[in-house]
Structure 1
Amino acid sequence: MRFISDDANDLKPAWMSSQETECPEKLLPGFWKHYTIADCRFFLWQMLSASISTENQDADASPGEQISFFENLVVYLEASSIVDNRGPLSKAKRGESEQYETGESSMDIKPGEKPPKGDNPHRKLHKRLKRLSIWHRDGFDDPYVILDSFFDAYDLPSFKARLYDILQVCCQEKYYDKGCPADVLYFLEKVESIINAAYSILISEEAKWLDKSKTAMECIASSNGEPECEIEPPAVIIQCLKEFFEYRSLKKWKQELNRICLYSLSSQSAQEWGVWIDSLTLYKLICSLAETAFDLRKNRSALP
């Protein structure tokens, strides 16, 4: 349909067959058999980013309204996924994956917490990152690849300048006009990618870094100049990552990025909608994270 209508006939299902309209609940298992909620978020985001980047936007479908619709549709799909997982046909199949689709698990790994014995912390971490990701979906196996990709796209000065411009328009009655909407989406995808990388590094390595009794020099000395273990990142880098996730949890940071995306592409300010975006604090923390990511990457490149 290429127009909005309140006509009763237009409010009826148009794509479903008569048999499907009689038993619509049977469609859910078939849909969720072929797609995960992560797939839905990914494909919808690709459609949204392409749509809001086009010229001559329809008056009834401004970029801000499309983003709002996208967010509500994703919430609806997530609710549908939960309902389907709780159905009798899904209970026998979902098994261990249930905790990742239906909400926060009590077994989620937190910074400073050792994973339980017998569990695969890396696999669990990757699933959690993918489940919470809005735009970024690749490279969870190696967070340093994510950092390389980020710094291939931006250097620190240009990143800070772009971040400042985007945060500034969130609190003004205008949208980001120094590029197309896709520029904002690409930028926020890169921000999300280094948040994912930082979280992955902190969770996967923190216990090892804190528990090691040997320093990097001892590792080198014990192997006659040939290091047998990774050189530890400086403690100050780990502290920066801790402070970043103490201010906001991983999930809360993703929500913050969503708000930045919405109000940077809207002609209405966040305050006008009763939303508080602490631009100065966000600018400081995200810039600090980018600098820490640069140090992490440099530290990794020093390894033989």
Structure 2
Amino acid sequence: MKKNKTAFDTRFWAGFTAENPFKVLDAFFDFADLDDYKQQLNEALRYSGSSKVYEQDNPASVFVFYTVVSSFLKACYCLREKSKKWKVKASLPSETVSQLSSLTKEEYENPFSVFQKAFNEKTPEEFEFFLREIVRLSLSPQAEDADTDLTIYYIHVIKMLDAAELMRERGVEKSRKRNQMAPVTA
């Protein structure tokens, strides 16, 4: 039986079609850095409750932001299942955590858990709705309230951004089989 492949829709913004979530993360962080994504998300959310239009001089940049983050969320959804076969390489003692401050110690040690938790609480469709809602509200010249509380989605997306950056920095490797016995030496 043939597996269905997820369409990450990276061609528009990355210039190529990524066929696995790890390639999407590479393209995502090659396109812009973590701080840029966080700032854009913060700004879009801030403008979503006001009558000012976000990126009024260049609203097309908001569309690009939407497509990039939409691809990212699709990759994150796929990564929640990858923890069964993959693991993030161990952290280095000299590694600083300050930039990835949204993660708990457990999430820092196992970034895959961030994706699992997010998609256990919310569906991919709900995250897509969140993204469309902040874009719609941030581009609207009328002050409107969101149809739903956006805070929990925002927190999950920030955590996913931090977890993805951490995965990219450390790298991932195939997990060894749990039942594999280590050779006994005398």
Q: How far did residue 207 of structure 1 move?
A: 3.5
What amino acid is aligned across from residue 43 of structure 2 in structure 1? D
Runs of 4+ in 1 over 4 A off after TM superposition: 135-138
| Counterpart for residue 124 of structure 1 | 4
| Counterpart for residue 128 of structure 2 | 254
Provide structure 2 residue ranges, at least 5 long, that are not aligned to the other structure: 91-107, 175-186
Q: Deviations over 1:26-81 (max 9, x none)?
A: xxxxxxxxxxxxxxxxxxxxxxxxxxxxxxxxxxxxxxxxxxxxxxxxxxxxxxxx
Distance 2:45 2:37 in 1: 12
Q: How far did residue 192 of structure 1 move?
A: 1.2
Provide structure 1 residue ranges, at least 5 long, that are not aligned to the other structure: 1-118, 211-215, 218-233
Whichever of the two has the greater Rg, that structure is 1
Contact kept? 1:140, 1:197, Cα under 8 Å? no
Contact kept? 1:156, 1:291, Cα under 8 Å? yes
Q: Sequence identity of aligned pairs in percent?
A: 21
Is 1:148 the counterpart of 2:20? The answer is no
Q: How does 1:241-280 map to 2 (within 5 A)?
A: 241-271=115-145, 275-278=147-150, 280=151
Secondary structure of 1:124's counterpart equals coil
Question: Number of matched residues?
Answer: 154
| Counterpart for residue 177 of structure 2 | none
Q: Deviations over 1:105-126 (max 9, x none)?
A: xxxxxxxxxxxxxx43xx3142
What amino acid is aligned across from residue 128 of structure 2 in structure 1? K
Q: Deviations over 1:125-175 (max 9, x none)?
A: 426x67xx9x88963422222112211222222221111110111111221
Q: How far did residue 177 of structure 1 move?
A: 3.3
| Counterpart for residue 80 of structure 1 | none
| Counterpart for residue 43 of structure 2 | 165
| Counterpart for residue 208 of structure 1 | 85
TM-score for the superposition, normalised by structure 2: 0.68
Q: How does 1:65-84 map to 2 (within 5 A)?
A: none
Q: How far did residue 301 of structure 1 move?
A: 6.8
Contact kept? 1:147, 1:194, Cα under 8 Å? yes
RMSD: 3.2
Distance 1:142 1:181 in 2: 30
Distance 1:246 1:270 in 2: 29
Relative to structure 1, is the Cα distance of residues 235 and 140 closer, same or farther in structure 2, using a 3 angstrom cutoff? Answer: farther
TM-score for the superposition, normalised by structure 1: 0.44
